[in-house]
Chain A
Amino acid sequence: MQREGLAAGLKAGLTIAIGYFPVALTFGLLAKTTGLSLTETVAMSIFVFAGAAQYISLSLIAAKVDPVLIVLNTFIVNIRHFLMTASLNEKMQPDARWKKAVYAFGITDETFSVISTTGEGRVRTSYAAGVIVLSYASWVIFSGIGHVIGANLPLFLQAAMSIALYAMFVALLIPSLKGNRKVVLLALTAAAINGFFFWTELLSTGWAIMVSTLASAVIVEVLYARRGNVLRRAVERKEGA
């Protein structure tokens, strides 16, 4: 069980740090144009550390929406993490509650995806810490730099880097797909349901991701449990005959 530790975690976290770079830089710039001071901008990245929610809050602040509603909206956007950390709990090595309470702060879509697809067996706390520390540092530092210097990268590079996080998700998924039909089915089902919510605009992004993830995980589990039962019964019949 005791396998990859802090060093491996930092190495995996570096990919996320690179992916966060353009997103955080842009957040800093947008925060500046929304009227936030450098302190206010960096503080949000330090205390909230949730990309989508922070972006949305900027547009709501700009629209002079009631702060209470902004908090409520943040909750709705981030409630999907509930599902992720419940899943992650099955994957992490058992550890002291306070340690888990500390690294829980660093669970984002990206850190969750990296940590939870790390090979077979349990993941060490030190590995998770490594992934989170670099991701968090990148997010906070580049939010600040974005505010100070603005998005001074050449436009074509800014555009190209907007793919970084998605490319990372693809790179995490593809190796697991190979030779594993259940994983293929899980990803395709969730993508299809999420696509449905997206194009019909029935649910906002945060809810859509949560509902399609949960629906896919349940549907595929039920399918496989059924198949398992059918196989078991067939075996029992054979043994009985």
Chain B
Amino acid sequence: MGSWYWWMLLGMAVVTYLPRAIPLTFLEGKELPPAVSGVLRNIPYAVLGALIFPAILYAQPDDLLFGVIGFASAALIAWLGGGVMGTVLGTIAVLAVYSLLVG
């Protein structure tokens, strides 16, 4: 790449950092209206829903069954109290077996 790459990288770094930093620094110590802070407290659960679905189905873009099995295994292990680490490793194990059998 040329020197343009480093300028581009600088630009990417700045536009990625600003949305992360502005709310955390500018809102510090400010009391928000109850309705706004209510909405903000909802964000983590809403964003998890959006991050999981439908992308999890396409974890392997050309194998829908892979995503479905992964989703089901993760949900089951988490529901049974597997914890975050247990769920991640358990789901990987299930799909490793699946990929060995299919692939």
Contact = CB atoms under 8 A, between A and B. Distances in A.
Interface of A: 12, 14-15, 18-19, 35-37, 40, 43-44, 47-50, 53, 57, 61, 67-68, 70-72, 74-75, 78-92, 94-95, 97, 100-101, 103-105, 107, 109, 112-114, 116-117, 155-157, 159-164, 166-176, 182-183, 186-191, 193-195, 198-199, 205, 208-209, 212-214, 216-218, 220-221, 224-225
Interface of B: 1, 4-13, 15-17, 19-25, 27-29, 32, 35, 37-56, 59-60, 66-67, 70-71, 73-75, 77-79, 82-93, 95-96, 98-100, 103
A112 to B, nearest CB: 7
B88 A168 contact: yes
Contacts of B67: 163
Given A15-B88, A170-B56, A105 B17 contact: yes
A157 B48 contact: no
A209 B51 contact: yes
Contacts, number: 293
B44 A116 contact: yes
B15 A186 contact: no
A209 B47 contact: yes
B12 A101 contact: no
A130 B65 CA distance: 36
B99 A156 contact: yes
Contact of A174 (B44, B66, B78): B78
A47 B16 CA distance: 9
B1 A37 contact: yes
Interface centre among A79, A117, A186 (most CB of B within 10 A): A186
B62 to A, nearest CB: 11
Contacts of B79: 174
A74 B13 CA distance: 9
Contacts of B23: 82, 85-86, 88-89
Interface centre among A105, A188, A190 (most CB of B within 10 A): A190
